[in-house]
Amino acid sequence: MIIFLSIIIFILVCVIIALTLNIKEKNSNLRYINKVLLRIIDTDSTERIRGITINEDAKELSKTINDFINKYNLIKTKEIEMELSMKKMLSNMSHDLRTPLTVILGYIDQIISNRNITEEQKQDYLMKLKSKIEAIILLINDFFSLSKLESGDNSIELSKINVSEVLRELVLGFYETIESAKIDINIEIPDEDIYCVGNIDALKRVLNNLISNALKYGMDGKYLGIKLYKDNANNYGLRNKIWFEVTDKGKGIPEKEASNVFERLYTLEDSRNKNYQGSGLGLAISKILVNKMNGEIFLESIPYKRTIFKFFILED
């Protein structure tokens, strides 16, 4: 009986010691976690909680905290990138507004103060004023369009549309520009009409932007290609994609910059033609619109050989 009681007492003592050690270990782990969190708060560091290998509760807690720190750092990085992008956009917009406004003031000053100006010269100045003012309005409209799209305020309705007809109309709209530029053009639109689920206004805006960019920045290549086709993915159990391609053979976009072209503040003149200025909003708007139509947009560029902007929209 005495031996049995001794064994019981010994077991209880061991349990008490183990619990005490466990409590001390938990307290030690909690103190360590607290110190790390205080350092992160005070120094805004990217430190992680490490070295907890015994206590499962503390390990689980440290893992959860590390996951939270990772997400926090990701959000912080995105905020920094957004802030830098915003500064760049404001700089671009400031330049794009200041330059035409300065020119406008110059034209107005000539019209008002130059007594020797002819009626023909006055009309020429007025036409140039009109062009500069339209450019400013376009820039401002693009900025507000992008803001609405990114905030979700500007939703688009999807319906079945005849994309062949839409593309033919757009090409006709560029006919005079293409003729005056004296460039080779290759239009590939199937005889049989192609339909997809999209939004006519959004589709026109994307195509108009891509074709305008090809003519503006790829003009030195003297080539414009526009292609429409269906990939027939249904044959493999997938949904058919309707593809649009706009190709030029101009200066192109360097590979190191190709991944940036769809960012909201990237400007094409960074990598293509310094003679043209832009706000960097057009391709960002195009990407958002394509995404809202359940599609994706891509770029393939080999300088002076071909630069292809292509995107797809689902058939149904």
Tens digit of each residue's pLDDT (9 = 90 or more) over 21-73: 455 455 566 666 667 667 766 676 677 766 555 567 667 767 777 777 778 77
pLDDT in tens, 9-26: 444 434 344 434 455 455
Amino acid at 203: L
| Closest residue by Cα to residue 205 from 156, 249, 266, 275 | 156
For 313, the enclosing helix (H) or strand (E) is strand 306-314
Alpha-carbon distance 177 to 275, whole Å? 18
What's the pLDDT at 163?
A: 93
Distance of CA 232 to the CA centre of its chain: 28
Q: How many other C-beta atoms can be found within 10 angstroms of the C-beta atom of residue 299? A: 18
Fold held by 85-151: Helix Hairpins (1.10.287)
* Conformational region of residue 7, where left means phi above 0, alpha means psi within -120 to 50, and beta covers everything else: alpha
SS3 134: helix
| Closest residue by Cα to residue 66 from 28, 37, 31, 35 | 37
Confirm if 279 and 92 have CB atoms less than 8 A apart.
Answer: yes
| Closest residue by Cα to residue 125 from 113, 137, 143 | 113
Q: How many other C-beta atoms can be found within 10 angstroms of the C-beta atom of residue 94? A: 10
Residue 88's Cβ-side half-sphere holds a number of Cα atoms within 13 Å equal to 16
Tokens of 102: 């300065």
Mean of the per-residue pLDDT values for the chain?
76
Q: What sign has the CA pseudo-torsion 77, 81, 82, 87?
A: positive
- Ordered by start, the domain boundaries in the chain are 2-76, 85-151, 159-314
Residue 4 has pLDDT above 70, yes or no: no
| Closest residue by Cα to residue 315 from 299, 298, 294, 297 | 294
What's the pLDDT at 9?
A: 44
What's the pLDDT at 228?
A: 94
pLDDT in tens, 150-159: 666 667 888 9
Confirm if 209 and 168 have CB atoms less than 8 A apart.
Answer: no
Q: Tell me which CATH code domain 159-314 carries.
A: 3.30.565.10
